[in-house]
Amino acid sequence: MNINQLDMNFDSVIIGAGISGLVAAHRLKRLGREVLLIESGDRVGGAICSRDTEGFLIECGPNSVRGSHEFLDLVEDLNLTDELITGDPRAPAYVYIDGKLHAVPMSPPALIKTKLISTSAKLRLLREPFVKARRERGEESIASFARRRLGDEILERLIAPFLSGVYAGDPEQLSVQACFSKLAEFESEAGSVVGGALRAAMKSRRQQDKPKRSLRPYRLCSFRHGLSALPEALARSLGGKLLTGARIIGISKNSSTSGFEIRIEHRGENRAINCSTLVVSTPAYVAAGLLDGVAPEIAALVAEIRYAPIASVPLAYRVEQVGRKLDGFGFLAPRGEGVRTLGSIWNSSLFAGRAPEGWVCLTNLIGGATDPEAVKLGDEELIRIVHNDLSRVLDVSGEPRRLPITRHERAIPQYTLGHAARVERIESELGAASGLWLAGNYLRGVSLGDCIKQAERVAVEINQAIQPTSASI
């Protein structure tokens, strides 16, 4: 599209076409608002990027999304239901401990039987309701919270690997109030995590008359041709209201309308447009620069958020090269087990159509907050490390087939100590009074499901905040 064909005035301009910006723009458009979504790259989806290469379908970013009702509503709304594929809900995730893979226990009987943690760790868990609640105010690290309430072993063997998988994070640095606010609330309100969880489960059972459409037990989902189907469908739903390859030259407050003026450069042409509300849905470090002139306090808070790097190293093997049956979602490896790879997702076991007949495809993640130097290694070295780890954990033999490696220098925002308080301060400055909203994975949840939920909420708030459309007067 040529920017000179663009209208001058929009109800809302959204900057950044990752899942957060796309969902906010899509929902606002569905609500009858005039929107424009501006993306600096030449494609939409941000971290989501599926690639078809030599008969393998690989994901360079996220691999799957949980089947929450917000996600399923969106899939239906976009007419993507026929494209949706789901993983086997019984497929276990494994943790590599003491030279063996152990399935993560997903039920109380499985927890009693598991060899992942010792009998004394299980007994320690039973004592959790009797551990005194913390009196101090302020945020606490996940490591400190878990040690206090659940014991060292649960921290090292269950919680730390889970945090590597979701945040690529360090439990000593991450804030329990920001990452697991429910657990912190259980302790402060019920005096115990177990007690609080039981109370919450009973409450939700009493409310089960409400229809729920989520895929129980929150199955992992993707699409036949990869996760990119979702951003691509969202982009189509916007029609011409999406500008890719555009550069924001400046943002200023429009004093006569109390909205914003956005100056854009696109294919050598410059244009200024007006909007009554603005959503910035870029990563935090970009948002900080964009907002410096119009909202310096928010910009300064957002600039404090740090990211952990990750390299995604997909490798393929012929089925007979792998000594262990790949009968699950994949494995996570706690630090200190002699394996540098953080985790391995068994794509071809999880979803159909990921590898040609006779082959398996594994996406291996390396780096994170505890090993940031790993992403700087060359391809040869990354492949060597990951292949050696897989030989040890999965008994693979022979040479791997190489697939394209992706390095995310700033992959996942880290909700470190102070993050919950920072987000509250950011949010108190945003909203109807300022005409400005933020959306993105650095606020309240890094998963795709969290991003979708937050972006939907932003769209609803904006719709309520701006004047009725002329059509609805």
Ligand X SMILES: Cc1cc2nc3c(=O)[nH]c(=O)nc-3n(C[C@H](O)[C@H](O)[C@H](O)COP(=O)(O)OP(=O)(O)OC[C@H]3O[C@@H](n4cnc5c(N)ncnc54)[C@H](O)[C@@H]3O)c2cc1C
Considering only 3-11, 26-34, 58-66, 176-184, which stretch makes contact with ligand X by CB under 6 A?
A: 58-66
Q: How far is the CB of 420 from ligand X (least distance, A)?
A: 18
Q: How far is the CB of 202 from ligand X (least distance, A)?
A: 28
**What string marks each residue from 222 to 261 as x (binds ligand X by CB under 6 A) or -?**
--------------------------x-------------
Q: Which is nearer to ligand X, 29 or 149 (CB)?
A: 29
3-class SS of residue 131: coil
Residue in the structure block whose two tokens are 């404090």: 304
Is 40 a binding residue for ligand X by CB under 6 A? The answer is yes
Q: DSSP of 98-116, one letter per residue?
A: TTEEEEPP-SHHHHHH-SS
Residues contacting residue 378 through CB under 8 Å, at least 6 positions apart: none
Q: From start to end of 319-350, where are the E strands?
A: 330-332, 343-345
Q: DSSP of 394-451, one letter per residue?
A: H-B-SPPEE---EEEEEEEE--BTTHHHHHHHHHHH-BTTTTEEE-STTTS--SHHHH
Considering only 57-65, 114-122, 142-150, 384-392, which stretch makes contact with ligand X by CB under 6 A?
A: 57-65
Which listed residue (92, 151, 161, 283) binds ligand X by CB under 6 A? Answer: 283
**Closest to 102 measured CA to CA, from 87, 119, 116, 92:** 116
Q: Which is nearer to ligand X, 14 or 150 (CB)?
A: 14
CA dist 192 and 108 (Å) reads: 17
Which listed residue (281, 347, 349, 364) binds ligand X by CB under 6 A? Answer: 281
Considering only 59-67, 97-105, 349-357, 381-389, which stretch makes contact with ligand X by CB under 6 A?
A: 59-67
Which listed residue (57, 62, 160, 302) binds ligand X by CB under 6 A? Answer: 62
Q: How far is the CB of 357 from ligand X (least distance, A)?
A: 25
For residue 409, CA distances in Å to 60, 116, 166, 309 come to 13, 33, 16, 5
For residue 188, CA distances in Å to 127, 185, 195 come to 17, 5, 11
Q: Which is nearer to ligand X, 39 or 337 (CB)?
A: 39
Q: How far is the CB of 386 from ligand X (least distance, A)?
A: 14
Using CB under 6 A, which residues numbered 86 to 115 contact ligand X? none
Q: Provide the binding-site residues for ligand X, judged by CB under 6 A.
A: 15-21, 38-41, 46-48, 61-65, 248, 281-283, 286, 310, 312, 408, 411-412, 440-441, 446-448, 451
